[in-house]
């Protein structure tokens, strides 16, 4: 419920806008993602712009995750205390709370990965395969989770369910679910692999193995992380749950080997929180120690929630971040950009309607003949999606070389006129017969590279659009 109360604040997240625009172009896949989240995101906006409707999707995933965590704790032998403690700790862990705040591909993961674990625990291996296939339709990292859990089952000797007919039926259903997206990626030259390679060439923060493991504690809140760490150890010593401990360690190893971002394995933590709560319950007996445990979870979780839930006004959030920074507490960066005042996630919730309004005003002020010819170009999908989403009806679709926008191509742009949002005046003068600066977009709460964003009018392209377009491709 706290997600539903907090989520409407600030504005649409950069990626949320992109997912909505992608979903309005239904396909079996996109350059940087499978189709499930874009289709759901677009569906949430069928009756008009609604941040509440979109964020309700994330809140539902978070609520479902908490319920499954409680069921897992009961499956592991815990009582009502352990079930409640597990659900509470998993809900308050910052990275998991974030995925219940913004609707992103990780949001379904926090629901579906624990569901797969519960299915495996009950011997329903086929249903686990289907759950992970649906998760893969939201984010490809679920494939790694599937391999890790399968490896844990095989190593721990829990193989009987793999020979059952239900498992192979589930695998067949999973293959049918995933085949269209695999075909789309194949037909487009496996763009996701190209994107991942490019991301490792400077955009993403590179972590050492110890740095990656350290960030697992940071993103789950050191005041709460001890619960899932205890759960991991509990799984390893309990024969019936050893497969889960081995699978979790294997998943972390895969992510380290692939240089994944720190939050990629986050959806495994709800299951480990369940195990940790059972472990806590076995040693904390009596109302007093259990009350102390619950208080520590609630108070410890509340400390960092304002960093992932948009509940504080911007100025107060900056002050609170500064206070926490005195104790070396901050949300870890995942990309190599200059840090925004509000941090990357909250910065990416600011400025989008204003950017669209600025560009619309500039376009409206152009002479009629130029306005009819002019198309809007942006450097990245966030700016493109925001302008597409918030612009008045009748505005031509935005074009960009970034990710899925490049696949959509130059549309009907003929090279006569271009409003280049974020354009470089000197570069545009080389490319166009005439280029003039026509505006600047200011947004102090947004990302630094989008504060003071120049807007250039480019006239009479010197080369053909057909020859230019391949050079604009930018997957990252």
pLDDT digits (tens, 9 = 90+) for 34-71: 999 999 999 999 999 999 999 999 999 999 999 999 99
Give the burial class of 56: count Cβ atoms within 10 A of its Cβ; 0-12 exposed, 13-18 middle, 19 or more buried: middle
Residue 160, pLDDT score: 74
User: Is there a single domain that holds both residue 314 and residue 356?
Assistant: no
Structural domain including 192 reads: 2-325
With respect to residue 338, please indicate whether it lies within any of the assigned structural domains.
Answer: no
- Domains in the chain, number: 2
Residue 46, pLDDT score: 94
With respect to residue 250, please indicate whether it lies within any of the assigned structural domains.
Answer: yes
Q: Show which of 307, 325, 343 is a domain's final residue.
A: 325
User: Is there a single domain that holds both residue 83 and residue 212?
Assistant: yes
Closest CA to 403 of 2, 7, 21, 127: 21
With respect to residue 340, please indicate whether it lies within any of the assigned structural domains.
Answer: no
User: Is there a single domain that holds both residue 402 and residue 257?
Assistant: no
With respect to residue 335, please indicate whether it lies within any of the assigned structural domains.
Answer: no
Residue 39, pLDDT score: 98
Residue 204, pLDDT score: 64
Q: Which residues of the chain have pLDDT under 50?
A: none
Closest CA to 413 of 377, 382, 439: 377
User: Is there a single domain that holds both residue 249 and residue 367?
Assistant: no
Q: Find the DSSP H helices in 269-364.
A: 269-283, 287-304, 314-325, 344-347, 352-364
User: Is there a single domain that holds both residue 285 and residue 321?
Assistant: yes
- Give me the helix-helix angle, 269-283 and 106-121, nearest 10°: 50
Q: Show which of 306, 325, 344 is a domain's final residue.
A: 325
Between CA 96 and CA 63 the distance in angstroms is: 11
User: Is there a single domain that holds both residue 219 and residue 275?
Assistant: yes
Between CA 470 and CA 195 the distance in angstroms is: 16
Q: Show which of 325, 343, 368 is a domain's final residue.
A: 325
User: Is there a single domain that holds both residue 161 and residue 285?
Assistant: yes
Structure token digits, residue 381: 């999908």
User: Is there a single domain that holds both residue 375 and residue 431?
Assistant: yes
User: Is there a single domain that holds both residue 39 and residue 164?
Assistant: yes
User: Is there a single domain that holds both residue 309 and residue 359?
Assistant: no
E-state strands within 322-450: 374-378, 399-400, 417-421, 432-441
Residue 158, pLDDT score: 74
With respect to residue 343, please indicate whether it lies within any of the assigned structural domains.
Answer: no
Between CA 421 and CA 363 the distance in angstroms is: 11
Residues ≥6 apart with Cβ < 8 Å to 148: 247, 248, 250, 251, 254
User: Is there a single domain that holds both residue 378 and residue 304?
Assistant: no
User: Is there a single domain that holds both residue 290 and residue 374?
Assistant: no
């Amino acid at each position: 419920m706290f997600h539903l109360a907090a989520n409407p604040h600030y504005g649409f997240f950069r990626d949320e806008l992109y997912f909505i625009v992608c979903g309005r172009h239904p396909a079996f896949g996109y350059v940087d993602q499978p189709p499930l989240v874009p289709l759901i995101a677009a569906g949430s906006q069928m009756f008009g712009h609604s941040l509440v409707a979109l964020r309700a999707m994330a809140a539902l995933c978070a609520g479902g995750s908490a319920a499954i965590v409680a069921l897992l704790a009961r499956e592991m032998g815990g009582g009502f205390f352990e079930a409640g403690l597990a659900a509470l700790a998993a809900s308050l862990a910052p990275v998991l709370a974030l995925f219940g705040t913004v609707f992103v591909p990780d949001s379904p993961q926090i629901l579906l990965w624990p569901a797969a674990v519960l299915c495996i625990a009950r011997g329903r291996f086929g249903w686990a395969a289907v759950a992970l296939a649906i998760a893969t339709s939201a984010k490809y990292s679920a494939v790694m989770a599937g391999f890790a859990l399968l490896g844990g089952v095989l190593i721990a000797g829990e193989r009987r369910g793999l020979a059952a007919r239900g498992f192979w039926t589930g695998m067949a259903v999973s293959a049918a679910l995933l085949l269209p997206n695999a075909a789309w990626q194949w037909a487009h030259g496996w763009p996701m692999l190209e994107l991942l390679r490019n991301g490792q060439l400077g955009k993403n923060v590179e972590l050492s193995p110890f740095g990656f493991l350290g960030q697992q504690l940071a993103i789950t809140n050191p005041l709460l992380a001890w619960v899932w760490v205890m759960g991991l150890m509990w799984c390893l010593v309990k024969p019936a749950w050893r497969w889960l401990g081995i699978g979790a360690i294997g998943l972390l190893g895969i992510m380290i080997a692939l240089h994944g971002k720190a939050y990629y394995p986050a959806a495994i933590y709800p299951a480990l929180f369940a195990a940790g709560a059972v472990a806590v319950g076995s040693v904390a007996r009596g109302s007093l120690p259990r009350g102390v445990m619950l208080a520590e979870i609630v108070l410890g979780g509340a400390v960092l929630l304002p960093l992932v839930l948009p509940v504080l006004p911007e100025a107060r959030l900056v002050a609170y971040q500064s206070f926490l920074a005195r104790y070396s507490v901050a949300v870890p960066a995942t990309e190599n950009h200059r840090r925004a005042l509000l941090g990357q996630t909250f910065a990416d919730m600011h400025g989008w309607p204003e950017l669209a309004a600025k560009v619309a005003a500039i376009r409206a002020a152009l002479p009629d003949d130029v306005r009819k010819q002019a198309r809007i170009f942006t450097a990245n999908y966030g700016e493109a999606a925001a302008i597409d989403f918030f612009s008045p009806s009748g505005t031509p679709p935005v074009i960009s070389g970034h990710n899925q926008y490049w696949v959509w191509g130059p549309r009907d742009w003929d090279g006569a006129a271009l409003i280049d949002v974020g354009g470089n005046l000197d570069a545009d003068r080389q490319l166009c017969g005439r280029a003039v600066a026509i505006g600047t977009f200011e947004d102090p709460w947004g990302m630094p590279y989008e504060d003071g964003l120049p807007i250039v009018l480019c006239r009479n392209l010197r080369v053909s659009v057909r020859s230019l377009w391949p050079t604009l491709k930018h997957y990252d």
